[in-house]
Amino acid sequence: DAKTTQPNSMESNEEEPVHLPCNHSTISGTDYIHWYRQLPSQGPEYVIHGLTSNVNNRMASLAIAEDRKSSTLILHRATLRDAAVYYCILRGYSGAGSYQLTFGKGTKLSVIP
């Protein structure tokens, strides 16, 4: 999988929107952009994914730049439960028989009450 770059940490106030950035300048045309999050002492949890168009679901929105070299995960109203590590992942063919996810270190989001 191609590499992504995310800030190590971010802070947000409760009930305010949060914009989590991700740079992926070497993305290939067939790579999907996936976001997962991991709450303390739990396994990662799927958040959202997209290819070219912006995507919305019940958890978040994903805004993808026109050149696809960057994307932003948007949490519309942060709650204390959203405090987690957020991983931005490019998912493409690994060349070894799978489309496995390759996790980086992610962004640790803290939510201030």
Partner 1 sequence: GAGVSQTPSNKVTEKGKYVELRCDPISGHTALYWYRQSLGQGPEFLIYFQGTGAADDSGLPNDRFFAVRPEGSVSTLKIQRTERGDSAVYLCASSLSGLNTGELFFGEGSRLTVL
Of the candidate spans 15-23, 60-68, 76-84, 89-97, the one that interacts with partner 1 by CB under 8 A turns out to be 89-97
Residue 2: CB atoms within 10 Å = 14
Q: Please report whether residue 30 would count as binding partner 1 according to CB under 8 A.
A: yes
What per-residue string of b and e applies to 94-112 under the rule 16 or more CB within 10 Å gives b? eeeeeeeeeeeebbbbebe
Q: Which is nearer to partner 1, 30 or 79 (CB)?
A: 30
Please count the residues of this chain forming the interface with partner 1, following the rule CB under 8 A. Answer: 28
Task: Let me know: does 27 contact 2? Beta carbons within 8 Å.
Answer: yes
Q: Please report whether residue 21 would count as binding partner 1 according to CB under 8 A.
A: no
What are the backbone angles phi and psi of residue 82, rounded to the nearest 5°? -85, -5
Q: Which is nearer to partner 1, 40 or 113 (CB)?
A: 40
Q: Please report whether residue 32 would count as binding partner 1 according to CB under 8 A.
A: yes
By DSSP bridging, strand 84-91 and strand 55-56 are unpaired
Q: How far is the CB of 34 from partner 1 (least distance, A)?
A: 8
Q: Please report whether residue 106 would count as binding partner 1 according to CB under 8 A.
A: yes
By DSSP bridging, strand 107-112 and strand 9-13 are parallel
Which residues are near partner 1 by CB under 8 A? 30-32, 36, 41-46, 49, 85, 87, 91-94, 96-106
